[in-house]
Amino acid sequence: MRLKIVQAGDPVLREKAQPLKTDEIVKDEVQRLIRDMQETMRDAPGVGLAAPQVGVPLQLAVIEDQEDFLKNLPAEELALKGRRPVPFHVLINPQIVRTGDDKAEFHEGCLSLAGFSAIVPRANTVRVEYLDERGEPASVEAAGWYARILQHEIDHLHGTLYIDRMHSRTFTSLDNWNRYGKRKAVSDA
């Protein structure tokens, strides 16, 4: 079932989400939420979705950067962003346990700030520990665009939006970004 994505201004987006206990993760209600979030993210379309974005204040996010999203992007852009397909997976109670010293600045958007974008500095590498959809401990080392997605979704679980981290002078509607900024280098924005 496709869920409604809440927009900036909804209080749930500014709350710290509640962690899930292992026995709660395997319950039908949480498993249904995971499936519904996957469908909602794919339908949007997006590369990540956190439970607070669908009005549920739980420490749960889904991520998938489909190969179809990348096929029309220039090879130079994919290389610059370190963007590769990421298979669907679930993060429960995730924690960033390490970030690299190197930063990257790129335009970022959000399904809960529909129609807008801004340049956001993020760590280019991260290590995240989490529970998977079965409640099993897991971890991932990520770089490039995948590291950005992880940081963005984990921020949602702590009541933080990309607008809290953005370079405010770069905030723009997607229409204006397509019109004026799409071909500009990030350093020129």
CA distance 187 to 184: 8
Interior angle at CA 105, CA 189 and CA 152, nearest 5: 125
Catalytic annotation, pick one of 64, 108, 133, 153: 153
- 153 belongs to the catalytic site: yes
Strands 103-108, 86-99: pairing is unpaired
Strand order in the sheet with 172-173: 103-108, 116-123, 172-173
Lookup: tokens for 31: 């498993």
Torsions phi, psi for 111 (to 5 deg): -65, -20
Bridge partners for 125 per DSSP: 143
**Catalytic residue ranges:** 153
